[in-house]
Amino acid sequence: MPDKSSAAKPLTIGNLELYTIETGRFKLDGGAMFGVVPKTLWNRKIDCDEKNRILMATRCLLIKSKTTGRVYLVDNGCGDKFDEKMQKIYSLNFNHSELVRSLEAVGVAPSDITDMVFTHLHFDHCGGTTTYDENGELEHRFQNATYHVNKRHWYTATHPNAREKASFLPENIKPIEESGRLNLVDDNHAFEEGFNTIPMNGHTIGQQLPFLYDDDITIVYGADLLPMHAHVPLPWVMGYDMFPLQTLQEKEPFLEEAAGNHWYIFLEHDAHNEIITVNQKNGNFTMDQSFTMKELV
């Protein structure tokens, strides 16, 4: 059992305690991550390797409720189920961090998680749900957790189109379906006071962004609406998005509110920026400041 006395100090929002959970690093093609934005532009902000891949975080969020006693985990990274070939393709690196190790560092065991909140079910967001045991059989890491998935997204994940199919891996999706602990939620679902979700449909149908707030501070989990600080400018949209024009339409009002109300945006995939704020000037959006969770405590 983890030593809870040595756990890091959380950021408190209302009756919610927030911890950053780093689950590893991986790499994706830089061109795919920035769509129509040419390499001559995105490479000024993000370095790439000889294969044109950029370093990506899989940064998750742990939320403890002092009101209900619930322990929520938002997304859980790529997991460790890839074979050697896939590990090389994505350059998975658990030396930097790893899901269970990061949970233990804040005094939490996988069995303590009561609620697994998925923004969506692409492999880099839900791969850590299960792992292989010593017999090569799939086992659930979070055996006491309810799995929360947006209802419209669940249909997408279980009836994928040809383009998105490669992101919905059966070894990730099937165990969730068969667990008996799947809870399909509607858009704008409220988990409890100060914690609800915002639906976004450009990247994939039914993506849900956790939104945490009190009278003093608001943090929104950027997921794949804003995966990295370089995606703040409106036209900087991923090639992975199913509906890029819809992403564009969703980003503008989101960023207007974020800039106007000084929201903190928690970045899931930015290897170097954990939480940012944004500026708006003459219709253009830019990153303002960058913080770690510890700096906000």
Averaged pLDDT, 17-38: 98
CATH code 1.25.40.80 for 4-211: no
Calpha distance 192→266 (Å, rounded): 20
Q: What residues have CB less than 8 Å from 178, skipping those under 6 apart? A: none
First to last CA, the chain: 26
Averaged pLDDT, 47-76: 98
Residue 8's pLDDT is what?
Answer: 80
Tell me the domain boundaries of the chain. Answer: 4-211
For residue 260, the surrounding DSSP H or E stretch is: helix 244-260
Identify which has the larger pLDDT, 152 or 5: 152
Residue 134's pLDDT is what?
Answer: 93
Calpha distance 93→85 (Å, rounded): 14
Instruction: Please determine, for residue 75, whether its predicted confidence score (pLDDT) is greater than 70.
Output: yes
